[in-house]
Amino acid sequence: MKIKGKVHKFGDNINTDEIIPARYLNTSDPAELAKHCMEDADPRFVRKVEEKDVIVAGENFGCGSSREHAPIAIKAAGVSCVIAKSFARIFYRNAINIGLPVFTSAEAAEILKKKDQVEVNVTKGEISKARRRTVYKAEVFPRFIKEIIRSGGLMEYAKDKGIKRTAKKKAGRVKKKKK
């Protein structure tokens, strides 16, 4: 899978209060949250962002609260993926769990500038500027995380798992009857 989009650049320690301020947390509606995405970091972000655009940030992106509203708001605003030097851990797992691709690459985060066109190979974790040859490799996901991503998020993974569980149980019952 390949992503192509325009870069929106942010600095270090962008926290979840900036990504989606608590004054909007009285709802969990993605469309509603998307209207206020990144509001306290850049009030004009929502007007500028276009479908498939990419957020590029510095260290510790998404620090602070555990609110899943943060990656939800980013995803619902049309952002296709986030590239950062590093991610805060709860934001990172939340993004994986809801199927928002996130890439850790200090090099790419440094080199990519505002309004650059960027191409990302999601499966390979390869990042490059449009029409440029240099490829930046993002940190590789461990196999376990890849499985969640392949399912499209943790709940999809759970649904696969749930179906398997039920199938096993049923199989067990059939066996007993045969006895």
Instruction: Decide if residue 78 touches another protein (CB under 8 A).
Output: no
Residues 149-168 interacting with another protein (rule: CB under 8 A):
153-155, 158-159, 161-162
Alpha helix segments (H runs only) across the chain: 16-19, 30-34, 45-48, 69-76, 89-98, 106-111, 143-151, 154-178
Task: Evaluate whether 123 touches 1 at the Cβ level (below 8 Å).
Answer: yes
Residues 88-117 interacting with another protein (rule: CB under 8 A):
88-90, 93-94, 97-98
**What is the H or E stretch that residue 72 is in?**
helix 69-76
Question: What three-state secondary structure class fits 109?
Answer: helix
**What is the H or E stretch that residue 169 is in?**
helix 154-178
Complex with another protein: residue 36 or 129, whichever CB lies closer? 36
Contacts with another protein by CB under 8 A: the residue count is 42
In angstroms, how far is CA 40 from the centroid of its own chain?
A: 20
Instruction: Decide if residue 64 touches another protein (CB under 8 A).
Output: yes
Complex with another protein: residue 135 or 158, whichever CB lies closer? 158
Task: Evaluate whether 101 touches 80 at the Cβ level (below 8 Å).
Answer: yes
Residues 44-63 interacting with another protein (rule: CB under 8 A):
59-60, 63
Residue 66 CB, nearest distance to another protein (Å)? 4
Instruction: Decide if residue 18 touches another protein (CB under 8 A).
Output: yes
Instruction: Decide if residue 11 touches another protein (CB under 8 A).
Output: no
**What is the H or E stretch that residue 64 is in?**
none
Instruction: Decide if residue 72 touches another protein (CB under 8 A).
Output: yes
Task: Evaluate whether 145 touches 121 at the Cβ level (below 8 Å).
Answer: no
Question: Whole-angstrom Cα distance, residue 108 to residue 102?
Answer: 13
Q: Which residues bind another protein (CB under 8 A)?
A: 13, 15, 17-18, 21-23, 25-28, 40-41, 59-60, 63-69, 72, 86, 88-90, 93-94, 97-98, 142, 144-145, 148, 153-155, 158-159, 161-162
